[in-house]
Amino acid sequence: MKETILSLEKGVMERWRNGDPWGWAEISAEDVIYVEPGLTKPIIGLEEYKAYLKQLEGKVYYQGSEFIDPDVVVVGDAAVLSYNYRSSVRNPEGAITNKTSWNATEVYFRRDSQWRIVHTHWSHTLHKLPESVEIPVPVQSSRKEYDGVLGEVMALESAAMERYRRGDPWGFIEIYAPNSTYFDTGTPQRINGWEALKDELAQRAGNIFYDVMDFIAPRVQVCGNMAVLTYRFFDTCLNRDGSVSNRTPWNCSEVFVRVEGQWRIIHTHWSFIKGEMI
C-alpha cells in the first residue's frame, strides 16, 4: 500500500517535470485542497485546481528529481505521505545550474478502490517572508462555532496555540503522536519522531510571544480515523496603545489520527504565506 502511494506520486512528478501537470489532477479528489508558496489562499476543489494547473501546462521543465526520506503512514483508507524534495536544472554539459529544495505533504484517501489526493501542502525549505504581502481574508460579524470533528480538532489546536503564544510549546507536545513528523519554516529537513520534535520545540520555550491569534477559514477532511485540518493563521503583536506592531501570515496543515478515542497529531506542515526561498 505504501509502495502504491509513493509510485503514484513519483509517476505524476515525472510528468510534471516534463511540462505535463495533468497527472496531479487525475489522481486528485473532487474536494482537494491545495496549498503552495505562490498562493495567498488555498485552492479549494478540483475545478479550481484544474484552472490553476492549466496556467502551468508546458511551462515547468527540469532534469533532477529527488525524493528525500519519503514517509507514508497508512490509517485504514487514509494515508499521509511526506518528504523533502529537490528539483534541479542541468545545462547541456550536465552541470547543475539551479537547485530548489521543498517540503511536501500529500494526504490520500481511498475512494471507490482508488487512492486520491485530498490535500497538498508545498513549501520552500528554509523560507522567509516577503517585504510585504496582501492577503484576502473573510470577515465574520459573529463568533464562529465549529461542530463535529472540526470542533474536536480545533478545540485541541486552539488550546495548544493559546499556550504557544505565551511562550509555552508543551501544549502541542502533549497532543503529538510518538511517530509524528514536522515541517516548519526553519527546519532544513523534516523532523521525525516525538523526541526530535520535543527537542525542536524546547528551543522555542519562553522565546515566542504574541498578543492575538487568528484562525482563518479552518476546514477538516475526514476518512475513518484520520482528519486533516487546514487553516490560514495570523499571529499579531500589538503596541502598547493597541495598534498593530507586526503580523505574520501562515499556512498550516495538521494531520490527526484517532487513537483510543483521542485525536493525536501525526504530521504538521507550517509555512509562510507567499514564503520565499532563502
pLDDT at 97 over 80: no
Average pLDDT value for residue range 125-138: 92
Instruction: Please give the model's pTM, rounded to 2 decimal places.
Output: 0.96
φ, ψ of residue 259 in degrees (nearest 5): -120, 115
Same domain flag for 156 and 117: no
Task: Please tell me the distance from the alpha carbon of residue 97 to that of residue 105, in angstroms, as a whole number.
Answer: 26
Q: What is the mean pLDDT of the chain?
A: 95
Domain-embedded: residue 137: no
Same domain flag for 268 and 189: yes
Same domain flag for 57 and 103: yes
Domain-embedded: residue 71: yes
Report the SS3 class of residue 66. Answer: strand
Domain-embedded: residue 136: no
Amino acid at 203: Q
Same domain flag for 105 and 216: no
Average pLDDT value for residue range 17-23: 97
pLDDT at 95: 75
Report the SS3 class of residue 53. Answer: helix
pLDDT at 225 over 90: yes
Amino acid at 53: L
Place of cell 506542515: 269
Domain-embedded: residue 31: yes
Domain-embedded: residue 132: no
pLDDT at 142: 76
Domain-embedded: residue 55: yes
Q: Which residue has the higher pLDDT, 90 or 211?
A: 211
Same domain flag for 72 and 179: no
Cα-based angle 155, 158, 159 (whole degrees, multiple of 5): 80
Give me the long-range contacts of 256-260 (CB less than 8 A, separation at least 24): 256/153, 256/156, 256/226, 256/227, 256/228, 256/229, 257/73, 257/75, 257/177, 257/225, 257/226, 257/227, 258/225, 258/226, 258/227, 259/177, 259/225
pLDDT at 209: 96
Return the C-alpha torsion angle 130, 131, 134, 140, nearest 10: 90
Q: Is the distance from CB of 83 to CB of 67 less than 8 angstroms?
A: yes
Structure letter (DSSP) for residue 166? B
Task: Please tell me the distance from the alpha carbon of residue 109 to that of residue 101, in angstroms, as a whole number.
Answer: 26
Cell reading at 53: 494547473
Same domain flag for 100 and 46: yes
pLDDT at 140: 78
Average pLDDT value for residue range 46-62: 97
pLDDT at 18 over 80: yes
Q: For residue 80, what is the domain's CATH number?
A: 3.10.450.50
Task: Please tell me the distance from the alpha carbon of residue 275 to that of residue 278, in angstroms, as a whole number.
Answer: 9
Question: Do the bridges between strand 262-272 and strand 176-183 make them parallel or antiparallel, or are there none, so unpaired?
Answer: parallel
pLDDT at 92: 77
pLDDT at 96 over 80: no
Same domain flag for 166 and 123: no
Same domain flag for 55 and 9: yes
pLDDT at 69: 97
pLDDT at 94: 72
Same domain flag for 49 and 123: yes
Task: Please tell me the distance from the alpha carbon of residue 12 to that of residue 20, in angstroms, as a whole number.
Answer: 9
Domain boundary among 127, 157, 181: 127
Domain boundary among 63, 97, 127: 127
Same domain flag for 153 and 254: yes
Task: Please tell me the distance from the alpha carbon of residue 12 to that of residue 23, in angstroms, as a whole number.
Answer: 5
Closest CA to 8 of 60, 81, 58: 81
Same domain flag for 167 and 244: yes
Domain-embedded: residue 142: no
pLDDT at 90: 82
pLDDT digits (tens, 9 = 90+) for 150-180: 999 999 999 999 999 999 999 999 999 999 9
Q: How many domains does the chain have?
A: 2
- State percent of the chain over pLDDT 70: 100
Q: How far is CA 63 from the centre of its chain?
A: 25
Q: Is the distance from CB of 194 to CB of 174 less than 8 angstroms?
A: no
Per the DSSP assignment, residues forming a β-bridge with 252 are 231, 270
Cell reading at 263: 485525536
Closest CA to 265 of 236, 220, 235, 228: 228
Domain boundary among 62, 94, 127: 127
Same domain flag for 152 and 271: yes
Show the domain range for 263: 148-277
Across 80-89, 134-143, 178-187, 268-277, least confident range: 134-143
Question: Three-state secondary structure along 177-213?
Answer: EEEEEEECCCCCCCEECHHHHHHHHHCCCCCCECCEE
Domain-embedded: residue 139: no
CB atoms within 10 A of CB 73: 19
Report the SS3 class of residue 121. Answer: strand
